[in-house]
């Protein structure tokens, strides 16, 4: 007597499974998709696990696991003594019918392919989303650093073995008191050490209570934009300058006004003409990207402007540790007697950018507000990195590493200077570099700048156009914005020499 053929309540022939991957997960996804697109409608009876396993040539356990996942998510339900059915979900059925009638996909995805509409359009728009359309960061350059990538220190020299031991020691037997919700301003020990470092190495008199730990300099700048600006207010930025700072201010609703840079730094006479401006962002130790150091006269003029305007100055000291003759310059904040300067520091240019660890040195009256804003945004910083950095500093590794990084950056700068091509039409000579991790070289016009950048990229060398650092509405003629910006610290000397050789051939 022959067996009767197995009759299932739905046709499973369309379920194709890849035997090299997890079978229960694939079956779960296939059944879920059929519920969502209506092929398995509400109330449809599903086959017994043993029967479906037989038809699909699976183990029964694989089918049971798929059904269990569908049960857990509410797609199917069990009726005692009567089997397993697709759940009767009126709301889901209505939603599916609407999407099907509109010809829309029923796939579940965080980013469904048919719903990639820019949120700054249509009825879902908002003022910040509109501003984000023209004020956002370009995709970062990824992969191993190349010559002459800007903003990257010599993290090939970072003592990762020391860091790994400190980190392993911290997590081997962590203090339970550190594993809950921490101080939004940051771990007290790290703040104490930063304050001591600022007093000793930078001449900035401050206390641990004035320090707020951030996830890098960009978060520090964004906090300033959120807390010190009203929508529609003016903010002064250096032009050319650090565009990401301008974007942060614009996203907060401010009107970004560019102020010119000359051989002494920010032109304070031009700043004074901005009658409604009460916030200025500057990089006085090593202007980004021109490399100019702000003169003492300009620093005093800038402080006087802030006092007259009842305003604020954000001092971004992103690479102030790198000075190649004498000690690092005292920050602008060290001259401040009216508590108008907000100092932004970062560990990214001494350690590595992925560390995402920076700090603010704030006037006392701002500390509570900044701490509260951080608490609302991220609650508090990741504790392990802070505690390991505190040990790294307390045991003397930080200062030793700074000295090593200065020597390495100086050696790499010297190789760049010695090998710089001198016979390329329209390309300026390599200037003296007294500080920082990058240098700006003059180019006579915009077209030549673009051609030099393109030829460098073709031979695997990163050279950045100075024109990209200017605000779009700058009144300066485009040919006057031309130049090249080169970072010289990212790779060892031999790679710099090789890159220079390729550049000489490409540019000739």
List, for residues 119-131, the tens digit of each pLDDT value: 545 556 777 777 7
Q: In total, how many domains does the chain have?
A: 3
112 domain-assigned: no
Kindly state whether residue 110 falls inside one of the protein's structural domains: no
pLDDT of residue 132: 74
Q: Residue 277's CB: how many other CB atoms inside 10 A?
A: 20
Last residue of a domain, one of 366, 396, 426: 396
Concatenated DSSP letters for 299-316? HHHHHHHHHHHT-EEEEE
Same domain, 331 and 428: no
> Does residue 92 carry a pLDDT above 60?
no
Is 258 inside any structural domain?
yes
236 in a structural domain? yes
User: Is 124 part of a structural domain of the chain?
Assistant: no
- pLDDT tens, position by position, 319-369: 989 988 877 778 999 999 999 999 999 999 999 989 999 999 999 999 999
Task: Out of 396, 413, 445, pick the residue that ends a domain.
Answer: 396
Same domain as 461, residue 405: yes
Q: How does residue 106 score in pLDDT terms, banded at 50, 70 and 90? A: very low
Three-state SS for 443? strand
Residue 466's pLDDT is: 97
Do 282 and 266 sit in the same domain of this protein?
A: yes
Domain that holds residue 432: 400-507
CATH code, domain with 360: 3.40.640.10
Q: What's the rounded Cα separation, in Å, for the pair 167 and 181?
A: 19
Q: Note the pLDDT tens digit of each residue in 28-38.
A: 988 988 888 88
Looking at residue 230, what DSSP letter applies? -
| Structural domain includes residue 142 | no
pLDDT band at 400 (very low <50, low <70, confident <90, very high): very high
Specify whether 55 is located in the same domain as 175. no
Instruction: Tell me: pLDDT of 409 over 60.
Output: yes
On whether both 322 and 208 belong to a single domain, the answer is: yes
**Calpha distance 243→124 (Å, rounded):** 27
Residues of the chain above pLDDT 70, percent: 90
Does some domain include residue 406? yes
What is the model's pLDDT at position 95? Answer: 54
**Are 83 and 186 in a shared domain?**
no
Residues 354 and 407 reside in one and the same domain: no
Closest by CA to 157, choosing from 406, 476, 471, 372, is 406
Sign of the torsion formed by the C-alpha atoms of 248, 249, 255 and 256: negative
The SS3 assignment for 159 reads coil
Whether 247 is covered by a domain: the verdict is yes
| Category of 97 on φ-ψ map: left (φ > 0), alpha (ψ -120 to 50) or beta | alpha
* Cα four-point dihedral sign 296, 301, 302, 306: positive
pLDDT of residue 122: 52
How far is residue 503's CA from residue 129's CA, in Å, rounded to a whole number?
Answer: 41
pLDDT of residue 110: 44
Q: Pick from 61, 85, 101: which residue ends a domain?
A: 101
432 lies in the same domain as 446: yes
Asked if 214 and 351 sit in the same domain, the reply is yes
Peptide bond into 115 cis (omega under 30): no
For residues 398 and 391, what is the distance between their CA atoms, to the nearest angstrom? 9
Whether residue 54 is found in the same domain as residue 193: no
Residue 104 scores a pLDDT above 60:
no
Residue 108 confidence (pLDDT) above 90: no
CATH number at residue 22: 1.10.10.10
E-strand stretches of 295-398: 312-316, 341-346, 358-361
Lowest mean pLDDT among 134-143, 173-182, 232-241, 300-309: 134-143
The mean of the pLDDT values for the chain is 88
278 and 366 share one domain = yes
**Co-location of 390 and 434 in the same domain:** no
Residue 471 pLDDT > 50: yes
pLDDT of 348 reads: 92
Q: Quick one: 410 exposed, middle or buried, by C-beta within 10 A (0-12, 13-18, 19+)?
A: middle
Most confident of 10-24, 44-58, 402-416: 402-416
- For 281, the enclosing helix (H) or strand (E) is strand 277-282
pLDDT value at 450 more than 60: yes
pLDDT of residue 13: 67
Tokens for 456?
A: 């460098």
For residue 109, what pLDDT is reported? 46
Query: Given this model, what pLDDT does residue 197 score?
Result: 95
Task: Count how many Cα atoms sit within 13 Å of the Cα of residue 356 in the half-sphere of its side chain.
Answer: 7
H-helix or E-strand spanning residue 202: helix 188-202
């Amino acid at each position: 007597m022959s067996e009767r053929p197995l009759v299932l309540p739905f046709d499973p022939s369309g379920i194709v499974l890849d035997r090299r991957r997890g079978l229960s997960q694939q079956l779960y996804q296939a059944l879920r998709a059929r519920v969502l697109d209506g092929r398995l409608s509400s109330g449809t009876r599903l086959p017994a696990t043993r029967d479906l396993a037989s038809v699909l040539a699976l183990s029964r356990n694989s089918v049971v696991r798929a059904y269990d996942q569908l049960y857990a998510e509410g797609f199917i339900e069990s009726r005692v003594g009567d089997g397993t059915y697709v759940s009767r979900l009126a709301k889901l059925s209505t939603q599916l019918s609407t999407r099907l009638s509109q010809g829309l996909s029923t796939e579940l995805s965080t980013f469904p392919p048919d719903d990639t509409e820019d949120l700054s359009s249509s009825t879902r728009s908002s003022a910040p989303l509109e501003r984000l359309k023209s004020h956002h960061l370009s995709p970062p350059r990824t992969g191993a650093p190349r010559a002459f990538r800007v903003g990257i220190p010599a993290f090939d020299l970072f003592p990762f073995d020391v860091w790994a031991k400190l980190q392993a020691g911290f997590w081997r037997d962590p203090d339970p008191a550190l594993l809950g919700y921490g101080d939004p301003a940051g771990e007290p020990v790290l703040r104490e050490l930063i304050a001591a470092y600022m007093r000793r190495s930078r001449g900035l008199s401050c206390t641990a209570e004035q320090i707020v730990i951030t996830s890098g300099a960009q978060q520090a700048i964004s906090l300033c934009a959120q807390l010190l600006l009203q929508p529609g207010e003016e903010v002064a930025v250096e032009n050319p300058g650090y565009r990401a700072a301008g974007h942060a201010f614009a996203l907060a609703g401010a009107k970004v006004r560019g102020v010119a840079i000359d051989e002494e730094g920010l032109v304070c006479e031009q700043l004074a003409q901005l009658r409604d401006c009460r916030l200025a962002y500057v990089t006085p130790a090593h202007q980004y990207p021109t490399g100019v150091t702000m003169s003492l006269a300009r620093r005093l003029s800038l402080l006087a402007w802030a006092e007259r305007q009842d305003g604020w100055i954000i001092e971004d000291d992103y690479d102030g540790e790198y000075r190649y003759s004498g000690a690092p310059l005292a920050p602008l904040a060290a001259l401040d007697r009216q508590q108008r300067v907000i100092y932004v520091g970062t560990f990214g240019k001494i350690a590595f950018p992925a560390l995402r660890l920076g700090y603010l040195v704030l006037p006392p009256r701002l500390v509570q507000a900044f701490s509260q804003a951080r608490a609302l945004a991220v609650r508090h910083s990741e504790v392990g990195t802070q505690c390991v950095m505190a040990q790294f500093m307390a045991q003397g590794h930080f200062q030793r590493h700074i000295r090593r990084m200065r020597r390495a950056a100086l050696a790499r700068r010297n190789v760049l200077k010695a090998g710089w091509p001198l016979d390329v039409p329209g390309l300026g000579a390599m200037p003296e570099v007294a500080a920082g991790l990058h240098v700006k070289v003059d180019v006579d016009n915009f077209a030549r700048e673009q051609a030099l950048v393109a030829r460098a990229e073709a031979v695997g060398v990163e050279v950045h156009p100075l024109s990209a650092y200017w605000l779009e509405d700058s009144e300066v003629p485009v040919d006057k914005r031309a130049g090249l910006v080169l970072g010289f610290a990212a790779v060892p000397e031999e790679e710099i020499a090789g890159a220079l050789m390729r550049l000489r051939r490409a540019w000739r």
